[in-house]
Amino acid sequence: MLTKRIYVCENSIECIFTGIYDAWASNYGHDNNRIQVEESNNEPETMELFSEYIHVKTDNEKAIKVANSIRTKISEEAFQMVCSAAWSCSSKKGDIIYRFLILGFSMGSKVVNHMGDQNVMMIFELQRNVTYEVHHFLGFLRFIESDSNILLAKIKPQNDVLRLIAPHFSDRLSNENFIIYDEKRKSAIVHRSGYSWIYTLADHLDINKFEEYSEKEQEFTSLWQTFFDTIAIEERRNYKLQRNNAPLRFRNNMTEFKN
Amino acid sequence: MIIEENMSVQKKLEILSDAAKYDVACTSSGVDRKGTSGGLGNTVAAGICHTFSADGRCISLLKILFTNECIFDCKYCLNRSSNDVVRASFTPEEVCVLTMEFYRRNYIEGLFLSSGVIKNPNFTMELLCETLRMLREVHHFNGYIHCKAVPGASSDIIEMTGWYADRMSVNLELPTAEGLKTLAPHKTRKNILKPMKQIQIGRNELIKPSTFIETNRMSGYAQSISVFDMNSIESEQDQPQILREEANFSLSKSKSELSIRDKILDTNMTGYDSEYSLGKVRRPSINRGFVPAGQSTQMIIGATPENDYQILSVTEALYQKFDLKRVFFSAFIRVNEDTSLPVLPGGPPLLREHRLYQADWLLRFYGFQAAELLSEERPNFNVLLDPKCNWALGHLENFPIEVNKADYYALLRVPGIGVRSAERIVKARRTAKLRFEDLKKMGVVLKRAIYFITCSGQMMHPVKLEENYLTNQLVGMKERLPFGLSGDISYQQLSLFDDLKFMNQNININ
């Protein structure tokens, strides 16, 4: 039996693609390769015996080659699925994408309908999970306006959804300056009125700004709170249903659930 | 009437959102519109829920009344003129500022503007229309607007409002004209249906100007807005392939039903009337279309003694003859002490409302007809079963069906298989023959379905297709009801309402 080769990638789509490229190019046999994504928390991984660990260094050129092959040899739809999966929080996503692509490059565009296959189904699940969360944030995200008229929003998503929600808000608020900050990954979307959005790491962003409420801001916060409280029908009160629809994990950053 | 001077916006918002909370339709769906460079906002066809209130209902729009100063005296309404409540009115500017600032902060998807009737219907509608105009033209608001049409307002103001709004709705209030007479003496069925008809015709003129008018001139729309034409017009415009086929599917049998529906909706507005046609006003410079997200309506369930069959038939007629996008049901809540209102001992009939919504989905997405689900002899749903299970038990001759061969619509009729599962099955069986474990992997819920399907000719377990046996199996299953509706308590509540005899004894109308 050959020693298993485990390609350890950083948690980024570029690095996962690089790992897949390297694994493929090694000609070592797909069954003997595995793609593993590094957990961002600093807990040590459980290492496996009889395995060779290879740390993958992100190579944009290789990543782009993989991306282009997916688009041309499988389909645009498959590429979207893979991207969503790569931005999901699943720890197994690296290998799922790898297996999906092995099948995809042999089947072509039909692969996305091949639900009977476990990996296709799992990619599908990952994508669905990400899509649901994206949709939730389109509604649950809240801006507060700073004194300098910048709209600030803070979110703590399970999946890396920033780049998936950015197009929606840039289109909707094209004349506004806004920042959407991912507390978990310390990254942000920055949008300047009239320009397109950019994605950036935001280690240096002063997040205390998010807590400074101007007087005008307080007024609208309190108006919204009033509306939120009065619109509920007492006779139909149903906190379970409310919690099912607006899960607690979103509520930390939602104006109406503060206090 | 209590009118307070110099009321703060905060106070007004409190009063006027409280007054609007019984309105059901807080959806922001039906139209996709990109943002504009000078404006604020876009719309998403699927709709977006922004938060959920303590009753678990979605909040998508800023749902307010423009005013609760109302000259009408509808018995079930908190704002009836004879009630001694604090009255308030917004100014158009106040509504605009609230909408814009809430929208910027992503609190809401847009505005839902309704109103009590102040002075007279025209005066009220003009105020609503002016508010919408300011939002669109002064504040350049490009998000979603749902506006009520006030029955009795003149058709030119209705048309103007339709150019600014995304969705409009006229409340049907109660399922039948008799109910309306008893509980809403100032409203008539005719006044309610008129703006509905106008909006429908306006929308269709924009979609297919020539053919539409011709069909109507030929036969007068009362018979001919021939359900068929209406559906195909709508489906060609904005429905996916699957729904289009379904529309035709469901229509094959429906003509015989028309006579009942005519009676129910009492639409004796015959002939094509130019009053309904577009072109009475100058369109705004930015053309977002005429009521592009279509219209909806709502009715109160349980305030008057109509049975489920009547309610569902009216619903079906509204979809087919008025082209509505949604019909909403609202479980009656007794907010006023009035001898003409029933006392419902278990509180609002929420499970009945739930069953009606389930049936409404069967009409809209599953190709069912009201007359298949209920009949004169059996006019109410069995609260213990969802309407589709109920139907399947009565039509066991259609089952079991073969998952690998049955067409999309046959799959949709299997209890437990919904639109999403049916679509997945149709997709997946192109590449491989499906087994029960494949269905499971795809996320198809088999709990109910196993009694009605085969995979490659085999059922999952040998089952006798016999009504009593299956009824026991299905009723014994724990159905996943919305939170707060589950458990024995609500079954008990419901059996009270759904027993017609009980209702007749207790509802003391007049």
DSSP code per residue over B276-322: GSS-SSPPPSS---SSTT-EEEEEEESSS---HHHHHHHHHHHHHHH
Average pLDDT over residues B248-258: 41
More confident residue, B384 or A87: A87
Residue A50: pLDDT over 90: no
Q: At residue B35, does pLDDT exceed 80? A: yes
CA distance to B84, B202, B211, per residue, from B40 (Å): 40, 27, 36
CA triplet A44, A160, B60: central angle to 5 degrees?
Answer: 140
Same domain? A208 vs A97? no
- Contacts of residue B359, defined as CB under 8 A and 6 or more positions apart, other chains included, come to B308, B312, B368, B370, B373, B381, B387
**Interface touch B431/A114, C-beta < 8 Å:** yes
- List the structure tokens of B36: 């504009």
In chain B, % of residues over pLDDT 90: 60
The pLDDT score that the predictor gives to residue B500 is 33
**pLDDT exceeds cutoff 70 at B276:** yes
Determine which of A114, A149, A171, A227 to mutate to test the interface with B (most B C-beta atoms within 10 Å).
Answer: A227
Are A219 and A181 part of one and the same domain?
yes
- Asked if A175 and B38 come within 8 Å (Cβ–Cβ), the reply is yes
**Which residues 108-167 of A are in CB contact (within 8 Å) with B?**
110, 113-116, 118, 121, 135, 138-145, 151, 153
pLDDT for B380-391, tens place per residue? 998 888 999 999
10 Å Cβ neighbour count for A47? 8
Where along chain B do its domains lie? 2-370, 387-478
Tens of pLDDT along A137-174?
999 999 999 888 899 999 999 999 999 999 999 999 99
Pairing of strands A187-191, A198-201: antiparallel
Both tokens of residue B155?
Answer: 């058709």
Distance CA A137, CA B461 (A): 43
pLDDT interval class at B484 (50, 70, 90): low
Host H or E run for residue B71: none
Neighbours of B335 (CB within 10 A): 16
Residue A152: beta bridge partners? A144, A179
A79/A148 same-domain check: no
A175 contact B CB<8A: yes
3-state SS, residue B333: coil
What number is the average pLDDT over the span B339-364?
91
Looking at the fold, whether A122 and A180 belong to one and the same domain comes out as no
Q: What is the CATH number of domain B2-370?
A: 3.20.20.70
> Quick check: B308 and B382 in contact, CB under 8 A?
no
Name the residue with higher pLDDT: B216 or B306: B306
Residue B496 has pLDDT above 60, yes or no: no
Domain extent, residue A101, equals: 4-132
Residue B221 predicted with pLDDT over 90: no
Q: Which of A113, A132, A151 is a domain's end point? A: A132
Predicted local confidence at residue A214, as pLDDT: 82
With 60 as the cut, is the pLDDT of residue B322 above it? yes
Mean pLDDT is lowest, of A191-200, B181-190, B241-250, B432-441, for B241-250
Residue B144 has pLDDT above 60, yes or no: yes
**Mean pLDDT along residues B196-203:** 93
A89 touches chain B (CB under 8 A): no
Contacts of B13 in chain A (CB under 8 A): 223, 226-227, 230
Residue B509's alpha-carbon distances to B179, B181, B188, B505, in angstroms, are 10, 11, 18, 10
pLDDT of residue B213: 42
Mutate to test the interface with B, among A123, A125, A178, A241 (most CBs of B within 10 A): A241
pLDDT at residue B405 above 90? yes
pLDDT above 80 for B17: yes
- Contact of B346 with B340, CB cutoff 8 Å: no
Does A237 lie in the same domain as A169? yes
Looking at chain A, which residue has its C-alpha nearest residue B57? Answer: A242
Q: Helix, strand, coil: what percent of chain A each, to 5?
A: 50, 15, 30
Give me the residue from B9, B34, B483 closest to A238, CB to CB: B483
Task: Kindly report the nearest CA distance between residue A120 and chain B, in angstroms.
Answer: 10
Same domain, A182 and A231: yes
Nearest CA-CA distance, residue B457 and chain A, Å: 19
CA dist list (Å): A5 to A17, A30, A48, A205: 16, 10, 10, 39
Determine the distance in angstroms separating the CA of A223 from the nearest CA of chain B, rounded to an integer. Answer: 6
Predicted-assembly ipTM surpassing the 0.95 threshold? no
Based on the fold, state whether residues A31 and A99 are members of the same structural domain: yes
Q: Residue A132 burial by CB count (10 A; 0-12/13-18/19+): exposed, middle or buried?
A: exposed
Residue B482 gets the label, from left (phi > 0), alpha (psi -120 to 50) or beta, of: beta
Query: So what's the pLDDT on residue B237?
Result: 38
Structure tokens that stand for B268 in this block? 């004796």
The answer to whether A125 and A117 are in contact (CB under 8 A) is no
Q: Mean pLDDT throughout B24-29? A: 82
- Do residues A49 and A8 share a domain? yes
Interface contact A175-B20, CB threshold 8 A: no
pLDDT band at B25 (very low <50, low <70, confident <90, very high): confident
Query: Both A110 and A150 in a single domain?
Result: no
**Average pLDDT over all residues of chain B:** 82
Does one domain contain both A117 and A151?
A: no
Predicted pLDDT at B378: 87
Do A127 and A15 belong to one domain? yes
Distance (Å) from the alpha carbon of B145 to chain A's nearest alpha carbon: 15
CA atoms within 13 A on the CB side of A6: 15
B244: pLDDT strictly greater than 80: no
| Distance separating alpha carbons of residues B94 and B216, to the nearest angstrom | 43
Are the CB atoms for A151 and A179 separated by under 8 Å?
yes
B18 contacts A114? CB cut-off 8 A: no
Interface contact B102-A239, CB threshold 8 A:
no
Domain count for chain A, please give it: 2
Whether the pLDDT of residue A13 is over 90: the answer is yes
With beta carbons under 8 A apart, name residues in chain B contacting A126.
none
Least confident among B126-130, B240-244, B367-371 = B240-244
B432 pLDDT band, cuts 50/70/90, is confident
When pLDDT is averaged across residues B314-335 and rounded to a whole number, the result is 93
Contact residues, chain B, for A140 at CB < 8 Å: 50-51
- Measured between CA atoms, the residue of chain B closest to residue A143 is B105
Mean pLDDT of A2-27: 93
Rounded percentage of chain B residues whose pLDDT exceeds 70: 80
Smallest CA–CA distance, residue B189 to chain A, in Å, is: 28
Nearest chain B residue to A251 by CA distance is B51
Q: Do B40 and A173 touch (CB under 8 A)?
A: yes
Same domain? A37 vs A99: yes
- Tokens 């009605």 locate to B452
Asked whether the beta carbons of residue B428 and residue A141 sit closer than 8 angstroms, the reply is no
Interface check for A222 against chain B (CB to CB < 8 A): the answer is yes
